[in-house]
């Protein structure tokens, strides 16, 4: 059962043995027992997302996280007079722009550098210049770098201007406390294999009921029709329209129980922060600088600059993999970076072992100043 290495990547990530073991049973997709499981998951997700349960609902969607982003973008913006503002400072924000363009949705892009926050003022200025914008989309933790955008303030501004708000909280939901009601988020998107610590196979949306109710007939795709998926789950008590990833759903339920057992999002956030702080402090001692200013850094994933020109990422990667750690290449456009995630079934002791392995690598290769 044991994995040959720990995934220090932002999803898929290392899951617990118990999450993986509940996938040993086959489920019937229309049987009551399974539908009940889906309904329980939907309720639990709303409870995790807000204190204002009654105004919100949850809908699950097959596919990786991007499929769910696409289902939201393609289903909530009206075909007539819809215009989307995407504020982006990384690859995932830019992916939303691409999705909107492919779906022929008019889009305004607010582009910031990858190491800069999107500020509420930036957003307000664009909204003032473009009063015909109807929807605002932004990424919470931009996994490209690990930067954490001030989504609460951004959505507040967007609401003041009467816009519908869409937040890609894929890599933060479950690891960082969010209240969709307090933060004025109409559609929050995340997926099974990130901070809830399930396995890949579906994404989910926490939606304000009155907003999703008004989305009938907007979809530009049959299989990614968010309204229809939601409506079917509502009408038929947990039924998905098409084959659902049953094993993944069961594993996700187990992951939710384990999140509760850990003490909820607050405690999980605490663990991720401990992992991240320990990692950055130790890396600094070895000459590795984080790419993002620590004030804007999320506890989810950290980008590190290559320590010098001689740094050989492939051999660093391979060395760590043999030691039992899989890290992530960088995704920043201007500078050379690599990334280390802290999420998943990962504890400070694991980070300590990782740090020891990095020290060994440095000593062997002599490429890093100790």
Closer to ligand PLP at the Cβ: 66 or 362? 66
Nearest-approach distance from CB 136 to ligand PLP, in angstroms: 16
Nearest-approach distance from CB 285 to ligand PLP, in angstroms: 28
Structure tokens at 335: 């500078």
Whether residue 290 contacts residue 302, with contact meaning beta carbons closer than 8 Å, is answered with: yes
Q: Which of 231, 158, 192 is nearest to 63 (CA)?
A: 192
Whether residue 100 contacts residue 108, with contact meaning beta carbons closer than 8 Å, is answered with: no
- Where does this chain bind ligand PLP (CB under 6 A)? 10-11, 64-66, 69, 92, 139, 143, 168, 170-171, 191
Nearest-approach distance from CB 282 to ligand PLP, in angstroms: 24
Whether residue 19 contacts residue 258, with contact meaning beta carbons closer than 8 Å, is answered with: yes
Q: Name the DSSP letter for residue 261.
A: H
Residue nearest to ligand PLP (CB): 65
Closer to ligand PLP at the Cβ: 125 or 333? 333
Closer to ligand PLP at the Cβ: 170 or 255? 170
Nearest-approach distance from CB 364 to ligand PLP, in angstroms: 33
Alpha-helical (H) ranges within the chain are 17-21, 32-49, 65-76, 91-102, 120-129, 151-160, 209-212, 226-235, 246-262, 264-285, 313-323, 348-365
Closer to ligand PLP at the Cβ: 66 or 275? 66
Closer to ligand PLP at the Cβ: 35 or 123? 123
From CA 298, how far away is CA 104, in angstroms rounded? Answer: 33
Closer to ligand PLP at the Cβ: 120 or 146? 146
Nearest-approach distance from CB 138 to ligand PLP, in angstroms: 10
Nearest-approach distance from CB 139 to ligand PLP, in angstroms: 5
SS3 label, residue 179: coil
Nearest-approach distance from CB 170 to ligand PLP, in angstroms: 4
From CA 366, how far away is CA 369, in angstroms rounded? Answer: 8
From CA 166, how far away is CA 73, in angstroms rounded? Answer: 8
Helices (H) and strands (E) in the chain, counts: 12, 14
Closer to ligand PLP at the Cβ: 66 or 71? 66
Q: Which of 127, 151, 129 is nearest to 139 (CA)?
A: 151
């Amino acid at each position: 059962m044991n994995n040959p290495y720990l995934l220090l990547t932002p999803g898929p990530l290392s899951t617990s043995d118990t999450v993986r073991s509940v996938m040993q049973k086959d489920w019937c997709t229309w049987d009551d027992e399974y539908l009940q499981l889906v309904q329980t998951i939907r309720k639990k997700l709303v409870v995790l997302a807000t204190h204002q349960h009654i105004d919100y609902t949850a809908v699950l969607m097959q596919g990786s996280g991007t499929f769910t982003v696409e289902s939201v973008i393609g289903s909530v913006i009206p075909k007539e007079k819809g215009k989307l503002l995407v504020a982006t400072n990384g690859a995932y924000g830019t992916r939303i722009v691409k999705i909107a363009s492919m779906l022929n949705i008019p889009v305004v892009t607010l582009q910031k550098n990858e190491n800069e926050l999107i500020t509420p003022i930036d957003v307000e200025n664009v909204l003032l210049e473009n009063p015909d914008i109807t929807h605002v989309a932004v990424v919470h933790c931009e996994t490209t770098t690990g930067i954490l955008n001030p989504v609460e303030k951004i959505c507040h501004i967007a609401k003041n201007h009467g816009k519908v708000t869409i937040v890609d909280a894929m890599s933060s939901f479950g690891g960082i406390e969010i209240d969709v009601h307090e933060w004025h988020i109409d559609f929050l998107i995340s997926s099974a294999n990130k901070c809830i610590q399930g396995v890949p196979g579906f994404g989910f949306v926490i939606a304000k009921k009155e907003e999703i109710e008004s989305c009938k007939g907007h979809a530009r795709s049959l299989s990614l029709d968010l309204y229809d998926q939601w409506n079917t789950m509502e009408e038929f008590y947990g039924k998905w329209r098409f084959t659902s990833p049953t094993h993944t759903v069961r594993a996700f339920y187990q992951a939710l129980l384990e999140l509760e057992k850990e003490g909820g999002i607050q405690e999980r956030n605490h663990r991720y922060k401990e992992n991240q702080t320990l990692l950055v402090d130790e890396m600094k001692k070895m000459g590795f600088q984080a790419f993002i200013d620590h004030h804007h850094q999320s506890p989810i994933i950290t980008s590190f600059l290559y320590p010098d020109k001689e740094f050989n990422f492939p051999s660093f990667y391979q060395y760590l993999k043999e030691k039992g750690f899989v890290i992530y290449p960088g995704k920043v456009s201007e500078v050379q970076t690599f990334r280390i995630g802290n999420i998943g079934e990962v504890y400070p002791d694991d980070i300590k072992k990782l740090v020891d392995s990095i020290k060994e690598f440095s000593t062997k290769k002599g490429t890093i100043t100790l």
